[in-house]
């Protein structure tokens, strides 16, 4: 057990947890905060309809593509150091975004902001893993971390809508600078640097994984607007898959891999990564399509559309805060199962309720979806880090975050593409309603697959599963 873990008192651990949570909330918040502000960004900066999607895509591409590199850098150079670097890059990019006057500057700065998030996110989860002892203490910390992810994603829609209507969408990015500076000072004072791994950076693994993720996600997202018959779409997806295959080969032979393949030898962990990707794919589609539906079909303003997500956010928060006690009483498996089932019912119900044009029928299914998010992400995060030694916490946290971002990016691209099926001849409100309904039906299938994985490999844990050891994951 690391020395720092044994000597920290309760007060210091609480401060470190606050630093971790605030830092992580910022990077997740900035994924969703732009959604309800997109119409204002579109008009103010002169984006084309097709180019507007890159406000979100540039961020998630850089975030997902560079995560493994950021995670391994934390193992080698120190997680506190990478936390500080990530905060610095993220906050400076946020400042540029807030002052952007052209689409090109906006998109470039969003990509740099995504890079900062890719450095920052793995360090937050790895520090959590090495700061809190296994058992109830770590369970609570992981539950709060998962709650931060779920609640901030929903809260971003509320905050983004309110800022876009009352002040400016730019404020949401400017406030990142003072928050980041405060977190950097706090980290310098309270966070002890972790032991450095005696390793070198796997540059070939970093290159092939980054290229693979970026080209694959780009191709899937492009398919939504250009179709699968578009040559560049096929080339992008094919090259991305080739690079990921090369990456797997490189990692199987590397003496010090950026992503130890032994992490996937544990069935619970491997299933948790896949389940997280499926679950996030469904839920990011929920936010994306319902935010547009509420504004374009129901007729709400950006601020009102954001407020309409409050039932989801409140239920998400309440369930997430209750999760540690529920896990202690009923076990992680039961809590995960019940909440995935709630999310499944909510998404399926919403796919039917969204055929109307009013808000009221949507509220109960949206609350069930919030419950699913609040209670499922904590157990999935814990399973993704199960039995990983502290010296490999960075690599495992990188995979958890990669599953999160890949699920979000690929899932949204797939839902956007699938939602266009059968829409020939439709226009206006009818088209938007059709696309939202198809997207929610597809999201229901994704959560169903998540539940099957959870029941087969996470809830029904196999006794022969063993932890990753230093020799398995050099």
Instruction: Give dist(CA 440, CA 289) in Å, integer.
Output: 8
Does the pLDDT of residue 74 top 80, yes or no? no
| φ, ψ at 36 (rounded to 5°) | -80, -10
Residue 152 class from Cβ within 10 Å (0-12 exposed, 13-18 middle, 19+ buried)?
buried
Lookup result for tokens 């605030």: 22
Of 51-65, 161-175, 193-207, 213-227, which range is least confident?
Answer: 193-207
Of 5-9, 385-389, 443-447, which range is least confident?
Answer: 5-9
Q: What is the mean pLDDT of residues 442-456?
A: 94
Judge whether 341 lies within some domain. Answer: yes
Per-residue pLDDT at 453: 93
CA angle 55, 416, 236 (to 5 degrees): 70
Residue 246 class from Cβ within 10 Å (0-12 exposed, 13-18 middle, 19+ buried)?
middle
Domain count, the chain: 1
Question: If pLDDT is split at 50, 70 and 90, which confidence band does 390 have?
Answer: low
Judge whether 238 lies within some domain. Answer: no
Q: Which residues of 21-44 are buried (b: 16+ CB within 10 A; e: fewer)?
A: bbbbbbbbbbbbbbbbbbbbbbee
Question: If pLDDT is split at 50, 70 and 90, which confidence band does 69 have?
Answer: confident
Per-residue pLDDT at 195: 64
Q: What is the mean pLDDT of residues 166-191?
A: 85
Judge whether 224 lies within some domain. Answer: no
Judge whether 201 lies within some domain. Answer: no
Q: What is the mean pLDDT of residues 152-177?
A: 77
Does the pLDDT of residue 471 top 50, yes or no? no
Q: What is the mean pLDDT of residues 260-271?
A: 84
The more confident residue out of 359 and 221 is: 359
Per-residue pLDDT at 85: 92
- Mean pLDDT of the chain, nearest integer: 80
Q: Which two tokens stand for residue 365?
A: 């299914």
How many percent of the chain have pLDDT more than 90?
A: 18
Per-residue pLDDT at 51: 66
The more confident residue out of 151 and 6 is: 151
Q: Which of 211, 245, 218 is nearest to 234 (CA)?
A: 218
Q: What is the mean pLDDT of residues 253-281?
A: 85
Q: Which two tokens stand for residue 460?
A: 């029904």
Judge whether 326 lies within some domain. Answer: yes
Judge whether 441 lies within some domain. Answer: yes
What is the total residue count of the chain?
474
- CATH of residue 183: 1.20.1250.20
Q: What is the mean pLDDT of residues 20-33?
A: 80
Whole domain around residue 38: which residue ranges?
9-189+258-459
Does the pLDDT of residue 10 top 70, yes or no? no
Does the pLDDT of residue 159 top 80, yes or no? no
Judge whether 472 lies within some domain. Answer: no
**For the segment 324-369, what is each residue's pLDDT rounded down to a tens digit?**
788 888 888 889 999 999 999 999 999 998 877 778 888 999 999 9
Per-residue pLDDT at 337: 93
Question: If pLDDT is split at 50, 70 and 90, which confidence band does 112 have?
Answer: very high
Judge whether 249 lies within some domain. Answer: no
Does the pLDDT of residue 214 top 90, yes or no? no
Q: What is the mean pLDDT of residues 401-419?
A: 78
């Amino acid at each position: 057990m690391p020395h720092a873990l044994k000597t920290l008192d309760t007060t210091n651990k609480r401060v470190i947890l606050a630093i971790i949570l605030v830092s992580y909330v910022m990077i997740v918040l900035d994924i969703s905060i732009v959604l309800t502000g997109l119409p204002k960004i579109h008009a103010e900066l002169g984006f084309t309809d097709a180019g507007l999607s890159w406000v979100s895509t540039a961020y998630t591409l850089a975030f997902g593509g560079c995560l493994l590199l950021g995670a391994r850098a934390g193992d080698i150079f120190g997680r506190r150091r990478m936390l500080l670097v990530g905060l610095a890059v993220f906050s400076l990019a946020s400042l540029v975004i807030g002052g952007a006057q052209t689409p090109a500057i906006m998109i470039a700065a969003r990509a740099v902001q995504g890079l900062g998030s890719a450095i920052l996110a793995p360090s937050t989860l790895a520090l959590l893993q090495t700061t809190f002892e296994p058992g109830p203490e770590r369970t609570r910390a992981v539950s709060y971390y998962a709650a931060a992810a779920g609640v901030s994603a929903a809260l971003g829609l509320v905050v983004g809508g309110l800022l876009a209507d009352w002040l400016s969408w730019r404020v949401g990015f400017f406030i990142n600078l003072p928050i980041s500076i405060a977190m950097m000072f706090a980290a310098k004072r309270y966070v002890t640097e972790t032991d450095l791994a005696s390793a070198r950076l796997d540059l070939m693994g970093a290159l092939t994984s980054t290229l693979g993720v970026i080209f694959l996600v780009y191709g899937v997202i492009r398919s939504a607007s250009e179709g699968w018959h578009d040559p560049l779409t096929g080339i992008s997806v094919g090259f991305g898959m080739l690079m990921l295959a090369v990456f797997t080969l490189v990692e199987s032979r590397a003496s010090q891999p950026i992503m130890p393949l032994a992490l996937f030898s544990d069935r619970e962990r491997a299933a948790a990564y896949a389940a997280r990707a499926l679950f996030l794919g469904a839920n990011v589609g929920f936010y994306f399509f319902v935010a547009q539906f509420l504004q374009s079909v129901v007729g709400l303003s950006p601020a009102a559309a954001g407020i309409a997500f409050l039932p989801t956010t409140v239920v998400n928060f309440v369930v997430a805060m209750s999760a540690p006690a529920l896990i202690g009483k009923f076990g992680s498996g039961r809590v995960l199962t019940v909440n995935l089932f709630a999310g499944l019912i909510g998404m399926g119900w919403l796919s039917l309720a969204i055929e109307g044009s009013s808000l009221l029928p949507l509220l109960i299914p949206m609350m069930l979806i919030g419950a699913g998010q609040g209670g499922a992400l904590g157990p999935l995060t814990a399973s993704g880090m199960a039995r990983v030694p502290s010296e490999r916490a960075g690599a495992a946290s990188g995979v958890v975050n990669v599953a999160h971002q890949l699920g979000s990016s690929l899932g949204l691209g797939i839902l956007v593409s699938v939602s266009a099926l059968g829409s020939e001849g439709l226009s206006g409100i009818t088209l938007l309603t059709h696309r939202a309904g198809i997207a929610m039906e597809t999201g229901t299938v994704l959560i169903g697959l998540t539940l099957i994985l959870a029941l087969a490999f996470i809830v029904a844990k196999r006794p022969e599963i063993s932890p990753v050891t230093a020799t398995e994951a050099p």
